[in-house]
Chain A
């Protein structure tokens, strides 16, 4: 038996112990090793080094926490996307809730505003009822009352003729007042001896008086809007009579 193969070169030896040589070459080397003690020793040594490298190379293990995180990542791949979806859905729900909250807050503020506004109207009305209070302008004549407001209000309004007013309805006088910081005309009427306060404000700058509750503390609040004015009446008179007055006042604005 001639030894066709020289001693193993390192690359061949390396590939041999890795089982990476073609079958024919592998067999030839095995034959050589059978007769070459030195090469057999080198193969043994290389195999030992390989085994030792395998041990030494398995050096780093993840911490239990890192292992748990990474395992969860692999395990929960489909759930992870599901969680993103549900998170997205949750975000939408949250957004919707926030919108609802904002809307309800606006609504609540609106209610609070109108509540405080109606309270203010009522306060002003009640103060005109007290015996000592006299209107700034005392006149039943619309031709006296209306000019009095000129230069006092940033807007003008019409007053109907005394004959145009509903039955037993009389203009007693007027005050310059403020509603929510905006100037307003306070017209004082009586209907069947009931005191009526009528507030006239500008629609563009004044507070919104239209959405007021119709009854507060036993007083009726009635309102109307014209092109640029708001008319709000407060009284303890029956609502139908108050409504008639408000209607006449509103009509008077469009007739000019």
Chain B
């Protein structure tokens, strides 16, 4: 050891600090490589979700861009045990909420589970359930557009992004029970929206 040190002719403390610096650099490079590895595959999802939130291509791109830069800055606080997708979607959503469109959207009052909706919790299967034809993509997209934003958001996170309820609760800052009821309500609303359209086309 001391031989190699003498051979290198570099004082120990100098080499120590330069090695530490080098390893810090490696760590930060690894860190950004980690970020790239985690974030890049989510780009289509983030863009899609951003588009559903903003309903505008330019705004969606800006939103994703801002999300990436915020996420990278906050990446040190990200813990490996947490779901990265939920973590970054949460950033996306919070960024959206502080945007002009987001603020305008959040002004709309959403009533959580108002009673007459609950009244329709009809346990018996209806013939319509089986009549709904889901091959009409355009009709379903229109129905999704007509959903109240909080219902649509929860449903899209569940069905499109395949985020678990507990993570949706984290993203939307609501209790898990509320996530469950919103998704259920969103599906019932979709059925109702789809039926008359299909009735016309049938």
A binds B: yes
Residues of chain A with a CB closer than 8 A to B132's CB? 45, 48-49
Stretch from A1-9, A96-104, A182-190 forming part of the interface with B = A1-9
Question: What per-residue 1/0 map shows which CB atoms of B43-85 lie under 8 Å from chain A?
Answer: 1100110011000010011001100110010000000000000
Question: What per-residue 1/0 map shows which CB atoms of B87-120 lie under 8 Å from chain A?
Answer: 0000000000000000000000000000000000
| Docked complex: A18-61 residues within 8 A CB-CB of B | 18, 20, 38-39, 41-42, 45-46, 48-61
Q: Are B61 and A69 in contact (CB under 8 A)?
A: yes
16 pairs, A vs B, C-beta closer than 8 Å: A14-B183, A42-B125, A45-B132, A55-B140, A56-B140, A58-B48, A59-B52, A60-B47, A60-B60, A61-B44, A66-B57, A67-B43, A70-B43, A71-B40, A73-B68, A73-B69
What is the CA–CA distance of A62 and B44 in the complex, to the nearest angstrom? 7
Q: Are A53 and B140 in contact (CB under 8 A)?
A: yes
| B76–chain A nearest beta-carbon distance, Å | 13
Interface centre among B35, B140, B187, by most chain A C-beta atoms within 10 angstroms, is: B187
Of the residues B29, B140, B165, contact of A78 by C-beta under 8 Å = B29
What is the CA–CA distance of A38 and B141 in the complex, to the nearest angstrom? 27
Residues of chain B with a CB closer than 8 A to A51's CB? 134
Residues of chain A with a CB closer than 8 A to B135's CB? 52
Q: Are B159 and A39 in contact (CB under 8 A)?
A: no
Of the residues B48, B180, B188, B191, contact of A15 by C-beta under 8 Å = B180
What is the CA–CA distance of A20 and B68 in the complex, to the nearest angstrom? 30
A204 within 8 A of B: no
A77 within 8 A of B: yes
B23 within 8 A of A: no
Residues of chain A with a CB closer than 8 A to B164's CB? 20
A10 within 8 A of B: yes
Question: What per-residue 1/0 map shows which CB atoms of A63-100 lie under 8 Å from chain B?
Answer: 10011011101110110000000000000000000000
Residues of chain A with a CB closer than 8 A to B86's CB? none
Q: Are B187 and A63 in contact (CB under 8 A)?
A: no
Q: Are B121 and A7 in contact (CB under 8 A)?
A: no
Of the residues B40, B60, B64, B181, contact of A75 by C-beta under 8 Å = B40
Residues of chain A with a CB closer than 8 A to B43's CB? 62, 67, 70-71, 74
Residues of chain B with a CB closer than 8 A to A41's CB? 125, 129-130
